[in-house]
Amino acid sequence: MPFNLARILPESARSHPDKTVLISGTDRVSYAGFDAASDRVAAGLCERGMRPGDAIAVQLPDVVQFAVAYFGILKAGCVAVPMNVGFSASEAAHVLRSSGARLLITWAGCVEDAAKAAADVGIADDIIVLATPGLPQPSVGRPFAQLLAGTPPGTWPLWQTDPDDSGGDRLHGG
């Protein structure tokens, strides 16, 4: 039976819109806020030319934005490729190359190695960077806030996948 993990989020947001679902430091996010933010990420990814089945690497620490990016990727029908923030440039390049990632969402704390890896695999222009609070946005990549500026449609067409999909080769709208 076709399913997309991201379908759980809008259903939970309808049932418990004001209930806190994510806590990171002093940040508290409700189901409704999480659902809306991940919709904006999905729209931002689509506006950047990402299509269902595309691999998108996520190299973020344990912060709210990781979950928002992850669910946004799923909502866009793309494949999330989690990466460790401690990867060296060569380790990151290996994962990017092996997964066929078309875009990298990374963190300012590891942006130097991430940028080297992205350049090595030919996606240097496709880096989104989450800045570290209190520090300026790195000169590499586009700010994560640009993904959040995406304009989602009135209702999001969640892409359905079959349980045995291995990267979206059998994706279909739903």
Give the CATH number, domain containing residue 87.
3.40.50.980
pLDDT surpassing 50 at residue 168: no
Q: What is the mean pLDDT of residues 150-157?
A: 66
Residue 154 within any structural domain of the chain: no
Q: Which of 88-92, 137-141, 142-146 has the highest mean pLDDT?
A: 88-92
Checking 33-38 for CB contacts under 8 A at 24+ apart, the result is 34/9, 34/67, 34/68, 34/71, 35/9, 35/10, 37/68, 37/72, 37/148, 38/6, 38/9, 38/67, 38/68, 38/69, 38/71, 38/72, 38/75
pLDDT band for position 135 (50/70/90)?
Answer: confident
Range of the domain at 61: 5-148
The answer to whether residue 168 sits within a structural domain is no
* pLDDT greater than 70 at residue 131: yes
- pLDDT for 80 equals 96
| 82 domain-assigned | yes
Residue 62 falls inside a structural domain: yes
Instruction: Please check whether residue 170 lies inside any domain of the structure.
Output: no
The number of folded domains in the chain is 1
- Tell me: pLDDT of 152 over 80: no
Residue 112 lies in a domain: yes
- Tell me if 76 is assigned to some domain: yes
78/25 Cα distance (integer angstroms): 29
Give the pLDDT score at 169.
41
pLDDT confidence tier of residue 160, bands split at 50, 70 and 90? low
What would the pLDDT profile of 27-64 be if each residue is shown by its tens digit? 899 999 999 999 999 999 999 999 999 999 999 999 99
**pLDDT score at 111:** 94
Q: Do the domain assignments include residue 143?
A: yes
